[in-house]
Amino acid sequence: MKLISNPVYRREIRVSSRSFRLALVLLTFNGILALVALLNMYSMLSQVRATAEIQYDSFLDLYMFVAVLEFVMLIFIMPAITAGSISGERERQTLDLMLSTRLTPTQIVLGKLMSSLSTMVLLIVSSFPILALVFVYGGVTMRDMGLLLICYGAAALFSGSLGVFCSALFRKSTLSTVVAYGVMGMIVIGTYGINQLALLFSRMPGEAYLVTTGAGGGGGSSGGFLYLLLLNPTATFVMTMLRLAGREASRGKVTQWFGTHEEGFLSQNWVSCSVVLQIVMAVALIWMAVRAVRPGKKVR
């Protein structure tokens, strides 16, 4: 109820719902997903007519392909929506007017973030009928869809909080957008690259291991750098999709991605721990954004 009574949230929702851009984004987002899904299904049905064999794995691949495409679009859209929320008010010289009212910095930041998250929830929910095409052939349950929704929600909250923090920290929307995409790229690509480099150095002959894990085997290991992937929404999404598709055993657990690591609590509950950590990081980013919006704080 406090969120609904937030004046910033109500204003942003009212403005976005009346704008033509929201309808255009919904049409483009779901149009791309529907086109990809229908073309993929058409190719699979053509193969069935040619070979007279029905391969149910291909329909599950359709679900995974559409889910991956939606996740990629989610990661790219969310920072763009939130990175100009606070800095845009500074550029229009309306932030000081908002702070001169009874609105608190917390209400301003949460209102901006929640309005962007509401747009993303609308995009995710509106795309579920496309993902539900696989229900015609089975293999995916409503529980699987719920797990996918949780993964989407954690990734959207984390990337949105990052965008709001950058928007509160910098004065220009262009700069905040670039920084938000740069930091998200470092989290998504940088954590993977660090593990690859650590694994490469550990396998160099005649060189001392940069990382020691205590795990057996001479194949090398990325060591403790593996747990940097807990911050990576892409790694969490990949683990979720492998588990939903029943391919976690064939593709290997996360402890086998970069050498040999010991099994522990984090590796056995990787998705849950990663989602919780992303939510904690999102809360920390929101708190820092509130601190940056407070009157008297210098912005860059």
pLDDT tens for residues 263-300?
766 767 778 888 899 999 999 999 999 888 877 655 55
For 278, phi then psi, to 5°, come to -65, -35
Angle, alpha carbons 69-73-79 (nearest 5°): 155
What is the per-residue DSSP string for 182-249? HHHHIIIIIHHHHHHHHHHHHT-TTS--S-------SS-B-GGGGGGGGG-HHHHHHHHHHHHTT-HH
User: Do 233 and 197 contact (CB within 8 A), yes or no?
Assistant: no
User: Do 289 and 168 contact (CB within 8 A), yes or no?
Assistant: yes
The first and second tokens of residue 25, run together, are 């984004």
User: Do 80 and 177 contact (CB within 8 A), yes or no?
Assistant: yes
Longest dimension (CA), the chain: 72
User: Do 207 and 201 contact (CB within 8 A), yes or no?
Assistant: yes
d(CA 256, CA 229): 13
d(CA 150, CA 159): 14
Report pLDDT digits (tens) over 65-103: 778 878 887 888 888 888 888 888 888 888 888 888 888
User: What is the chain's pLDDT, residue by residue, as a tens digit (300 residues)?
Assistant: 455 677 888 888 888 778 787 888 888 888 887 887 788 777 777 777 777 666 666 667 777 777 887 888 788 888 888 888 888 888 888 888 888 888 888 888 888 888 888 888 888 888 878 777 766 666 667 777 778 888 888 888 999 899 999 998 888 888 999 999 999 989 988 888 888 888 787 776 544 444 444 444 445 677 777 788 888 888 888 888 877 665 544 344 666 677 666 776 676 777 888 889 999 999 999 999 988 887 765 555
User: Do 156 and 117 contact (CB within 8 A), yes or no?
Assistant: yes
Nearest CA to 131 among 120, 142, 122? 142
Quick check: helix, strand or coil at residue 89?
helix
d(CA 109, CA 37): 37
The first and second tokens of residue 211, run together, are 């990382």
Angle at which helices 7-18 and 105-126 pack, to 10 degrees? 40
d(CA 100, CA 77): 32
pTM, two decimals, is: 0.80
d(CA 288, CA 138): 45
Nearest CA to 178 among 188, 168, 187, 167? 167
